Amino acid sequence: MADAYDVVVIGSGPGGYVAAIRASQLGLKTAVIERDALGGICLNWGCIPTKALLRSAEVYETLHRLDEFGLKAEKIGYDAEAVVKRSRDVAGQLSNGVKFLMKKNKIDVIEGSGRLAGEGKVAVESKDGKKSEVAAKNIILATGARARTIPGLEPDGKTIWTYREAMVPKAIPQSIIVVGSGAIGIEFASFYRAFGAEVTVVEVLDRILPVEDEEISKEAARAFKKRGIRLITGAKIEKTEKGSGGAKMSVTVNGKSETLEAEVVISAVGIVGNVENIGLEEAGVKVEKTHVVVNEWLETGVRGVYAIGDLVGPPWLAHKASHEGVLAAEKIAGVKDLHPLDTTRIPGCTYSTPQIASVGLTEAKAKERGHEIKVGRFPFRANGKAIALGETTGFVKTVFDAKTGELLGAHMIGAEVTELIQGYGVAMTLETTEADLIRAVFPHP
């Protein structure tokens, strides 16, 4: 059959398109099925356009500090429409780049929605309703995830936004409530605050950025409050009412009630896997809490069916999805000496101001696991490069096993730490010890 493949990937996000490229490189006839734009949510509505928005915000904030650098400028302003357009252009450029990569690697791109249709078969329905079927010896599910909704906070695209609406505002709202203080919520809080919005972050847990090391969370809270962002933690949302002027949200903290008002509410309370309408139940693929269950090789338990990325669970990161895509493709191709992906060694980054980055265990997690630890800390205010940059907020924290010297985790907050964390990621993968890192020579300053 002309439409018979060794591998068919459903979804072309950073997991799906990378899986397809690796499969093709290994000599497997490969196709990708995509219902929307190539690159998935990450390239089109997630990581990439968000970083473009945050870069505009960073430059705008720096312009208001020019006197610190002996510089002057007049009539500093912004054009919200132009800021959004640049973000969309960046996303479009990268989506076109994926299109080029598909062609270069001789991967067939099939437009439409794919679903499992029996052993070795994938049914495809195009946007105009046309139906077809392709045969595949192996199928990789890479359908990703979408924003979670909670009762009483259902997005309407006007007053209550998800990340999609938050990325393409027609104007910067005067006031915003962000529900959720994970990476997505904090990044939007940072972006909108930079352009003058009054921002309140509401978090149900007792601290913001709850997956980060506690010291990092505290430093971030201090920095965000200094920028004028209000943080409400340990909050219970009682109800949200929408009106012509925006939203009123009733919250309770430590038994005390308060009503918050804002033009817009951004819901950033996590994600759910896109497990619907892809034939999982009929195929016998196991699903738990909206995510597909897989083993260490990304196999679902149904012969020839693999799943990767946000669809299979945390950490919900593009680079994790890409590595899983490579692993699944290499497992299918029979590559020898494979190693399962160790998710504890995957760096996580938040591109707020200041930036936050981490890899490995927090101090608390290391203690929970029974490690006797040594902790190192160095503040940016004592670092020559940070002082020269005018960015002295933040610090680097390292966690080592006191007995073996093993690097257990690294946690950072400050300027450009999302570029610095990779060194610790490499160190952990190479099983570097404290002594090894001490001997490594880093450039001054």
Alpha helices in 334-410 (DSSP H): 363-368, 384-389
The conformational region for residue 41 under phi > 0 = left, psi -120 to 50 = alpha, else beta, is alpha
Cα separation, 393 vs 7, in Å, equals: 48
Q: Which amino acid is at 322?
A: S
Strands 30-34 and 305-307: unpaired
Of 195, 186, 262, 176, which is closest to residue 217 (Cα–Cα)?
186
* Cα-Cα-Cα-Cα dihedral sign, residues 94, 323, 274, 105: positive
Instruction: With beta carbons less than 8 A apart as the criterion, state whether 217 and 135 touch.
Output: no
DSSP alpha helices (H): ranges in 239-394? 280-283, 318-333, 363-368, 384-389
Question: What amino acid is encoded at 16 in this protein?
Answer: G
Residues belonging to the active site: 444
Written as one letter, the residue type at 153 is: L
Report the first-to-last Cα separation within the chain, whole angstroms. 61
State how far Cα 228 lies from the chain centre: 25
**Rounded (5°) CA angle 256-257-261:** 140
What CA–CA distance (Å, rounded) separates 120 from 302? 11
Tell the residue number behind the tokens 């002027």, with chain if given.
245
